[in-house]
Structures are given as structure tokens and as C-alpha cells.
Amino acid sequence: MCGIVGYIGDKQAQSILLSALSMLEYRGYDSCGIAVVSNGIKSYKNVLRVAEMKEIAPQIIGTVGIGHTRWATCGEPTRVNAHPHFDCTGNIAVVHNGVITNYPVLKQKLINDGHEFVSDTDTEVIPHLIEKYYKGDLEKAVELALLDIQGSYAIAVIGAGENKLVVARKDSPLIIGVGDRETFVASDVPAILDYTNQVIYLDDGDIGVITGDGIKIKKDGLEIHREEHKILWSVEAAQKAGYEHFMLKEIHEQPKVIRDTLSEYTQMSEPIVDLENLREDDRSILILACGTSYNAGLVGKYIMEDLVGVPVRVEIASEFSCYGQTPEKTLAFVISQSGETADVLKAIRKLKGVQCHVVAVTNVVGSSISRIADQTIYTRAGPEISVAATKSFIAQLMVLYWLAMSYSKVDAKRLADILLELRQLPSKVQWMLDNGEDILQCARYLARFENVFFIGRGLNYPIALEGALKLKEISYIHAEGYAAGELKHGPFSLLGENTPVITITGQDSTYESILTNIKEVKARKSPLIALTGDGDEAIKEFVDMVITVPRVDPIFSPVVNTVALQLLAYYTARERDCPIDFPRNLAKSVTVE
């Protein structure tokens, strides 16, 4: 979740490191720091934003350096816990993403050997281990230190007097950017796009040594070759383009995302995943994901069971990786925006252990998930910078719709109607974006409360979960999503004048049932906001406020309803003056379990 950057070349490192770190702010952080080889190693770090650091950090002269934005996991966010971390001599500096699970044992051994620690972090054992093994060869010392370490890591290491960067990864992402007589290291592509679009993706177990003469990568003691990849999107795609926040920009990009993702796959003569045999063999599908992607998976369950007739099981990856069981050779879809989600990666390894066929759905070409899955379906959302996922969620839905429709068992007329509606989705979403005044009014009303319920039925139950997740993520309002029929099984006790309920009202067979639920909520005096299709006059009698969405085929209602709830969360957070793109305690890419 933290951000790593590194530089070696003929330019001054400090300004490049700070610029690169600013492009990783979306990952979430509470402190930052840099270290540069400069008559030894000079460093500056503190609990502040990168922009503040640019203003107050002393100028450090040198052309080799590393930097870090830290999201606290082991040790509170303090200056001494910020990265980089050093050995006793101050001649070795390390930045690290991940978790060292055996650090208490390692730390005690090092203390017994005379090493002195200053921080509460697990990371600090790494430079001390490197110091322990250092005999004039930094690369070798890093190799030996990593043999002692258990857990996950992406690291970048510099040494005093050393004109080199040593990097390594295991279960945390790390890339090398290849420039003109200069080389960059980063956790993610946006950090380096101002300087190069040529990258090398490191795999688990890789150790890289970068000098002015080139890049050497080793694995299991043997030198190997890793291909360079060209990044096809520009740095401008990762900028706000005049919008107040990245989140708002990314919400407004969704009509294009729908078109781009669908055009990528609907033009194929054959889908890359065969569901036909699966249906004939009476086998099931497993979907694994976390957070927003999990909610997309739940929508996928409804549409695949409806259109394809295949039973689908959806599980939270973090639970499955520890406790879940599945039959051998199951077809599994794993969904991750970043392709680096630690819990999903762990789940994939478990699936591969029982010979499951794993299909990854991800937004990031070259990500870890794409490299270990059997097949990969890429969503075409482009870079998503805001921590709260919006356009990547819609792109995931488009992939799931495409898969379901490719093997649909419905009659030809029904399928033709769905395809026609699918082509109209971008314009329906655009209508939502152009007619949001009722959403803004509801947001101003909602912003005064501290607890909110979202309810839905059928396809829109996962959207209730997603709407609640978006609101709590960025507005800090406690929000919960429920299947509407579950309110009477406990949550009713919390209803009242200070607990608004937002109902996602499907224009389908669930309409009458959810209307009953609305009446039950109203009887308990909770304020009611209804999302409902254009022309639904009947519901206005029972609710306090209405958000109108365009009429669509019920199977696509999750799309327009999601966009409405994204805007509701955004405007509510803006009304409460929250840091929308960088909500507290959260990170874009969750690379620790």
C-alpha cells in the first residue's frame, strides 16, 4: 500500500524522487521520506505530505536515491517510523513495502549481536541484516539478508559510496523504468510516466542490481532476462484534467470506459473463457475478490445464474485464502483492480494448488495477478487514481456482462433486446452525469447525518453494499448495506429519525416487495431516499426524496444505480469537506494481508 521510488542517472535525484512520490499519493500514506547517496547517505523524512516536503526539505546533492510514502502498519505514523530506515552505521538505507512476519525474532537476535534499533517498524530489521552480511558487496549482502526474512516485501537499497540501487520483491509490486541513461524504480507506473514509458515488471524472488552500466536481474542465484513493456497510456490520463477531484473525473469517464471495455471483447470471434462446457458438465463457477471488486462479483453471480444457468459461488478472498475449500479443477474468476491485492494473490496460489483454472479480471497490464493466472481479462478503465474505486467497478461489471451474454441460454429475442440495451448504456450513464441536481440536493441533506442504511433486492442488493461502501469510504458517515428483507431481522432496532435509509428500487419482480420494505421503514420514522426509474410516480407517496435514474432493462440497473450512488457519495463528502481522493487510513492498492 505504501509507495516506493528510486533513481539512478546523471540528474539530481531529490527533485525526481519527490516528483515521483507525488504521483503515488493515491496509494494512501501518512509520512514520507527520501535518502540520497551524497558524501555518505543524507536523508530527510517526517509525518507530512509530499507537497510540504518539497517546500521544507533541505537540498541534498546526489544522483542516486530512494524515496517512500508510508501507510502505517507496524508502528504509529511518526518521524522515526517513517522510511527510509538505516543500519547502525548510517551507511545502508532501505525503503520497504510489505510485512516482515518474523521480525520480532530477527530483531531480538540482532539486538543480542549489538545492533541498536530506533523505530517500532518491522522494516528496520532489513538494513541491520544487510549490515550484518555486508563484506564490501551490497548485492550479496541483500541476497543473504533476504534468506532470513519471512513475509512480503518490495525493497530498494542504497549504500554509502555505492553507485547502484539494489531492489527485490516478494508478494509486493515493484517495477523498473528504463530511461535514456537513467533508471527508475517504483511501486506503480504513474510514478515514472513523466520520465519513461518503458518498464520491467519484477517477479517474486527477483533481485535487481541497477548501475550506470545497466540492469542485472537474478533469481535463485542465476541471472535472468525480463522483457521490457511499453505503457500505452500517458501521464495526462493520470491527471485531473480540470476536475476538482480525481474521483469526479473518473466518475465522468465511465461512459467511455463502458464503450472501451465492451469494444475490446464484443469484436472477438470467440470469448477467451469457455463457459459452455462448464454448463454441460453441471459444474459451478467460483468468484473471489475483495472490497468493491467483491461487490462486482456478487452482481456477476446474479447475471451469470440468470443468463447462463451456471451456479456461481462468490467469496471474499481473504476468507477463502485461509478457510475456503473448493473442488479440484473448478473454474475460478479472481477480480482485482490493481492486480496486486495480497489476499487475492494468496487465494490464487491456493486455487492453483488444487489445479483450478484461474481467470484474472484486472485493470493493470503486467500486474502480479495477470502473470500467475491461467488467463487474464483486462478491463479498459485506464489509470484510476482516487482511492475510492468507481470506473474500475463499472468496467468489471462490463466484463461480467460480456461473459454472461456470450453463453446466454435465453431466447434470441431476449438476447437481442439485451444487446440493444447494452449499446445504449453509455448514453444512459451520460444522462445521469448531466442531470444530477436531485443527487446534489439529497447529498446536502444526507451530510448532516452520521448513520445511513442502504437497502436493495436481487441484482441491486450488491449495489446497496457498494453504495454504503462508497459513502463510508469518503464521507466518514457510518453506512451499512442490507438485503431489504433482512431489515426486520435486527437492523430495525436502529431505525428512527436520525437514520436515513436509501432504497435502490429495481424496476423488476422485486418492486412490490421493496415497496413493502419502504413502508415498514417509513413506519419507523426514518427519512427515506429512493433511487428509482424515470416515471415511477407511485413511490413518491412513501419517500421523502427521490433520485431519478434512466429506465434501463432491469439486468443493467446496477450500472445506472451505481453511478447515482457514486455521485451521492462524492457530493456528500464534498459537503462535509472531506479529503475525497485520499480518505484517511485507506490505500488504493492493498498489498498486505
Indicate the pLDDT class of residue 25, thresholds 50, 70 and 90. confident
Indicate the pLDDT class of residue 230, thresholds 50, 70 and 90. confident
Active site residue: 42, 391, 470, 588, which one? 588
- What would the mean pLDDT of 151-175 be, rounded to a whole number? 93
Of residues 278 and 93, more confidence is placed in: 93
- What's the confidence (pLDDT) of residue 178? 95
Angle between helices 557-575 and 461-475 (to 10 degrees): 20
> How do residues 103-127 score in pLDDT, each as one tens digit?
999 999 999 999 999 999 999 999 9
36: Cβ contacts below 8 Å, ≥ 6 apart: 13, 14, 17, 42, 43, 60, 61, 62, 64, 65
> How do residues 63-113 score in pLDDT, each as one tens digit?
999 999 987 788 888 999 999 999 999 999 999 998 899 999 999 999 999
Average pLDDT over the chain reads 89
CATH superfamily of 241-409: Glucose-6-phosphate isomerase like protein; domain 1 (3.40.50.10490)
Question: Percentage of the chain with pLDDT > 90?
Answer: 58
**Range with top average pLDDT, 24-38, 276-290, 427-441, 459-473:** 459-473
Q: What are phi and psi of 441, to 5 degrees?
A: -65, -40
Amino acid symbol at 480? E
CA angle 262, 266, 268 (to 5 degrees): 130
pTM for the whole structure: 0.80
- What's the confidence (pLDDT) of residue 176? 96
- What's the confidence (pLDDT) of residue 556? 95
Please say if the pLDDT value at position 139 is more than 80.
yes
Q: What are phi and psi of 575, to 5 degrees?
A: -65, -35
Q: From 471, 502, 463, 479, select the one nearest 575 (Cα to Cα).
A: 471
Q: Are 29 and 3 in contact (CB under 8 A)?
A: yes
Indicate the pLDDT class of residue 587, thresholds 50, 70 and 90. low
Cell numbers given for 148: 532470513
Q: From 46, 26, 24, 52, select the one nearest 34 (Cα to Cα).
A: 46
Q: How far is CA 189 from CA 121, 230, 308, 363, 577, in A?
A: 27, 11, 37, 13, 30
- Identify the three-state secondary structure at position 340: coil
- What's the confidence (pLDDT) of residue 74? 81
Strand partners, 169: 154
d(CA 43, CA 17): 12
Indicate the pLDDT class of residue 276, thresholds 50, 70 and 90. low
> How do residues 356-407 score in pLDDT, each as one tens digit?
889 999 988 878 888 889 899 999 888 888 888 999 999 999 999 998 888 8
CATH superfamily of 3-237: Aminohydrolase, N-terminal nucleophile (Ntn) domain (3.60.20.10)
Q: Are 85 and 96 in contact (CB under 8 A)?
A: yes
**How many other C-beta atoms can be found within 10 angstroms of the C-beta atom of residue 329?**
11
- What's the confidence (pLDDT) of residue 27? 66
Q: From 52, 40, 24, 48, select the one nearest 86 (Cα to Cα).
A: 40
Strand partners, 483: 456
Question: Percentage of the chain with pLDDT > 70?
Answer: 94
What are the E-state strand segments in 39-143? 41-46, 64-70, 85-86, 92-97
Q: How far is CA 364 from CA 239, 350, 367, 378, in A?
A: 17, 22, 6, 7
In angstroms, the first-to-last Cα distance of the chain is: 11
Please say if the pLDDT value at position 592 is more than 60.
no
Indicate the pLDDT class of residue 537, thresholds 50, 70 and 90. confident
- What's the confidence (pLDDT) of residue 84? 96
- In the residue annotation, 442 being an active-site residue is answered as no
- What's the confidence (pLDDT) of residue 1? 57
Indicate the pLDDT class of residue 562, thresholds 50, 70 and 90. very high
Cell numbers given for 18: 519527490
Strand partners, 66: 6, 35
- What's the confidence (pLDDT) of residue 384? 85
Whether the bond into 84 is cis, omega within 30 of 0? yes
SS3 content of the chain, % helix, strand, coil (to 5): 40, 25, 35
- What's the confidence (pLDDT) of residue 590? 60
Unique residue bearing C-alpha cell 472531506: 578
- What's the confidence (pLDDT) of residue 141? 96
Of residues 27 and 538, more confidence is placed in: 538
Domain boundaries, given as residue ranges, for the chain: 3-237, 241-409, 431-579
- In the residue annotation, 588 being an active-site residue is answered as yes
Q: Are 502 and 453 in contact (CB under 8 A)?
A: yes
Q: How far is CA 92 from CA 250, 487, 526, in A?
A: 41, 57, 60
Unique residue bearing C-alpha cell 439485451: 418
User: What DSSP state is assigned to residue 80?
Assistant: T
Strand partners, 299: none
Topology of domain 431-579, per CATH? Rossmann fold (3.40.50)
Of residues 126 and 535, more confidence is placed in: 126
d(CA 521, CA 514): 10
Amino acid symbol at 542? F
Q: Are 60 and 44 in contact (CB under 8 A)?
A: yes
Q: Are 272 and 392 in contact (CB under 8 A)?
A: no
Strands of 85-86's sheet, edge to edge?
A: 85-86, 92-97, 153-159, 164-170, 206-211, 214-219, 222-224
- Identify the three-state secondary structure at position 424: helix
d(CA 592, CA 151): 10
- What's the confidence (pLDDT) of residue 238? 61
Q: From 320, 372, 318, select the one nearest 342 (Cα to Cα).
A: 318
As a three-state string, the secondary structure of 238-295 is HCCCCCCCHHHHHHHCHHHHHHHHHHHHHCCCCCCCCCHHHHHCCCCEEEEECHHHHH
User: What DSSP state is assigned to residue 308?
Assistant: T
Do 241-409 and 431-579 share a fold?
yes
Active site residue: 2, 32, 356, 578, which one? 2
- What's the confidence (pLDDT) of residue 43? 95
Please say if the pLDDT value at position 340 is more than 70.
yes
d(CA 351, CA 71): 30
d(CA 318, CA 294): 11
Unique residue bearing C-alpha cell 510540504: 52
**Range with top average pLDDT, 41-50, 332-341, 405-414:** 41-50
- What's the confidence (pLDDT) of residue 144? 96
User: What DSSP state is assigned to residue 29?
Assistant: -
- What's the confidence (pLDDT) of residue 237? 64
Indicate the pLDDT class of residue 509, thresholds 50, 70 and 90. confident
d(CA 14, CA 60): 7
Q: How far is CA 284 from CA 278, 319, 377, 436, 521, in A?
A: 7, 19, 19, 40, 37
